[in-house]
Structure 1
Amino acid sequence: MLDAQQRWLLLINIVFNLVMGFILPVNTIFITKNLHESMVVAGFALMLYSGFMMLGNFLGGRLFDRFSQRKTLVGGFTLAAIGFLLIAKFHTWPVYAGLLLMVGLGMGIAYTAVNSYTAIAAQQHPQQYQQIFNRMYLSANVGIALGSMGVSSIFQASIFWTFFLPAVCFFVCLIIVLTHGAVLDGAAVSHVYQANSTVASPNKKKPLQLSRQRLRINLVLICITVLIVWLGYSQWDSNLSLYMLDQGLTMHDYSLLFSINAASLIIVQPLMNRFICRWLPLLKSQIALGLGIMGSSFILLPGARNYGQYILSMLILTIGESITFPTIPALLSKFAPQGRQGTYQSFYVVFGSLGRALGPYLGSLIATEISFAWLFGLIFGSVILVGLGMLAVKEVNYS
């Protein structure tokens, strides 16, 4: 049974990712088709947008830990909402590009803050620790799927509403934070949990402390893993569309894969995490397994000649990501010292954003200069390698 804190967090996460799924497909099309700029200009603008989002990710973590948890979330949503309102009114070039940076900065701050609140909720509910991260990841995918499904008709009907609706969504999030901030902080839960934690128990388990050097090695391994896996995963969002078109498939076939991904995640993730948590109690082992499954999905792509093989590859990827993506922030939260949740969660979102920013460009270079087969082979090898590297992480276990 979800408490009020988790319900409001899930709602905010769905709305935030609905905007992400809504706006990402629009940017390139709007810049090239409506503003009549080149693909190079569009790519450069989106690279800057990704850069400002990464800056927001970093700032969000620092502000969350050192300034104010609630005000950080309010600031991020306010900045992004105002940016979208201005774009709805002034969507000409280069004003659009400048306002897009404002939106990216605000969304980056808000994204890290939402992840950090998730980590706090997980610490306040130790009996549901991993389930909370799993639910948040599933809700994020529901939001992205809803946004992706609705954007096409709205974009064709009205440019104003295309950018005004995201602003409305973020103002809704603002109202939730301003009116239910104490619930999001989990003040009552935290008070009860702290009171209970002071009671001596013969079964109480003490975490094994890590040295600073060991902790740094852990963080480096995790950050490299996040970067590599998103460099690979971003190929599905970008260069794979060209590969499938070259194989005689259509854009409808390509977009349908993501509907299959979203629908199957709703079924697969609860099943996977129910069994995987029992079989592999250490989070690092779960991540290594998930990465192995994700990497293997790329083996099928070089020889794929019919649509069924692409569906199979996507289903394998979905199983792997359902294990990997919610577990990495859970592991980072496990390492985070008191009062550093925002900073530690920012590692995940910053390196994930960096992978998403660099992936399409690096992938296109490899595919153009060598071949798609080499691209898929390199992704497979790299993901498997970082999966093995995760086994070297010294996890905070219990004795």
Structure 2
Amino acid sequence: MRRQKMWLLILNITFNMVMGFILPVNMVFINKNLHEPLTTAGFALMVYSLFMMIGNALGGVLFDKTSRRWTLQSGYFIAVLTLIGMSFHHVWPSYIFMLVMLGFGMGISYTAINAYTAYIAEQSVGDSRIFFNNMYLAANVGIAIGSTAVSFIFNASIFLTFFIPVLMFVSCIIIVFFKADLFDETNEQANESHDHYNDDQPADPKIEIGDRRFRLNLIILSGAIFMMWMGYTQWDSNMSVYMLSRGMTMKQFGLIFTINATSLLIIQPIMNRVMSKLFKLLKNQIMIGITIMGLSFLLLPNAKSYLTFVTSMLILTVGEAMVFPTIPALLNKMSTNKNRGSLQSLYSIFGSLGRAVGPYVGSLLATWLTFGHLFYGITVMMIIIAVSLQSVKELNK
């Protein structure tokens, strides 16, 4: 079990290093290097995330119904082929086609990683949210490393900006190929324990909660994931343009994510120890965290100094540390061994949908109105979705 967790953490860090490379520079690259309008750049990222959402959905089905290991591998292969094309041929409009295919491949792999996380967390002794927290911390470390590195590499070489992620995903393919026995072992243990699970564990959460209320839970959680990511993804897209307009540099923008990851190294261990004691119900932890995330955006409309952006990110980090690993844990709490991959794909699907709509809607609001209206709107939206979570029925177990 320990080796399974270690290799899964490595895959998660590497995957998110690629995310850190790709997402922060796309808006600037399309806008500044390819000389397309900000709204076009936002639209391109929207299509990219929509195809990632399709990949998420397909990945969930394939994970539950076919080979889990090859579901993960297929996503990597698609992403590698696309990134090779982007390395040598990054011109408009073919760039957008390669970008959306990249999103499709990454979507498949992302859901597979999340589903593997759910299986291993379910088999672990103790509070399952600890492993989700560790995976989330690993993801943010990966994003921080990728975002910091690309802030230097982007100005030096567009080719390396896209080719270094190729090397990262190839390393993931090699890891999965040679460590396949560990992943297969996880699947076999899950299958072998399926009958034991049915005998010793409580009834299917869907039965205990009730079919109609269970569906309502999924609708509320899906809507919350979508709206939360629609706001959060402004940091990955429009915030780069906003900070540049305020006199900041790409290096300072990349450093923000390093600060985010560094602060998580302090915050996340505290979350592991304290949150399970403070919040017996996961939905209450999520509700408070989303509220904190929303309030962080109130600092941005009049931000003139780099310190203000850093403070906003630190507040956001506290909120996201409470929310992002806990939603998959709540979905896992509602799952059985038959639908764990499919329910985990909901987090990926609606997260991708939020990331799809967020940059485009944000660019429209910033263009038609102001960035201030955008940030105030995000705060109101976050508070509304936080309140809606009180309607979720969670089993107290």
Aligned residues: 394
CA distance in 2, matches of 1:100, 1:356: 14
CA distance in 2, matches of 1:239, 1:129: 35
Paired residue type of 1:312: T
Is residue 2:81 matched to residue 1:101? Answer: no
Contact 2:145 2:258 survives alignment (8 Å): no
Match of 1:326?
Answer: 325
- Identify which range, 191-200 or 213-222, moves more after superposition: 191-200
Deviation (angstroms), 1:321: 0.3
- Identify which range, 153-162 or 111-120, moves more after superposition: 153-162
Alignment of 1:241-320 (within 5 A): 241-244=240-243, 251-320=250-319
Alignment of 1:1-399 (within 5 A): 3-32=2-31, 34-35=33-34, 37=36, 39-185=38-184, 186-187=186-187, 190=190, 209-244=208-243, 251-398=250-397
Gaps of 5+ in 1: none
Deviations 1:72-92 (A, max 9, x none): 111111111122223334444
- Identify which range, 82-91 or 46-55, moves more after superposition: 82-91
CA distance in 2, matches of 1:126, 1:207: 20
Paired residue type of 2:214: L
Pair 1:82–1:241, CA change in 2 (3 A): closer
Contact 1:22 1:148 survives alignment (8 Å): yes
Deviation (angstroms), 1:318: 0.5
- Identify which range, 291-300 or 113-122, moves more after superposition: 291-300
Gaps of 5+ in 2: none
Deviations 1:157-191 (A, max 9, x none): 44443333222221221122222223124157547
The TM-score with structure 2 as length reference comes to 0.89
Pair 1:368–1:28, CA change in 2 (3 A): closer
Deviations 1:334-365 (A, max 9, x none): 11233212211121111111112212232333
Give SS of 2:167's match. helix
Pair 1:62–1:199, CA change in 2 (3 A): closer
Paired residue type of 2:266: I
CA distance in 1, matches of 2:60, 2:213: 22
Counting aligned pairs with the same residue, the percent is 49
CA distance in 2, matches of 1:354, 1:243: 23
Deviation (angstroms), 1:292: 1.8
Deviation (angstroms), 1:286: 1.0
Give SS of 2:270's match. helix
CA distance in 1, matches of 2:159, 2:300: 39
CA distance in 1, matches of 2:372, 2:113: 38
Contact 1:35 1:92 survives alignment (8 Å): yes
Pair 1:375–1:100, CA change in 2 (3 A): closer
Pair 1:173–1:241, CA change in 2 (3 A): closer
CA distance in 2, matches of 1:347, 1:397: 22
Contact 1:226 1:348 survives alignment (8 Å): yes
Contact 2:55 2:105 survives alignment (8 Å): yes
Pair 1:236–1:91, CA change in 2 (3 A): closer
CA distance in 1, matches of 2:187, 2:216: 34
Deviation (angstroms), 1:284: 0.8
- Identify which range, 39-48 or 70-79, moves more after superposition: 39-48
Deviation (angstroms), 1:154: 3.4
CA distance in 2, matches of 1:387, 1:218: 14
Pair 1:198–1:40, CA change in 2 (3 A): closer
Q: Which has the larger radius of gyration?
A: 1
Deviations 1:225-247 (A, max 9, x none): 11111122122333344544555
Contact 1:124 1:193 survives alignment (8 Å): no
- Identify which range, 342-351 or 86-95, moves more after superposition: 86-95
Pair 1:25–1:364, CA change in 2 (3 A): closer
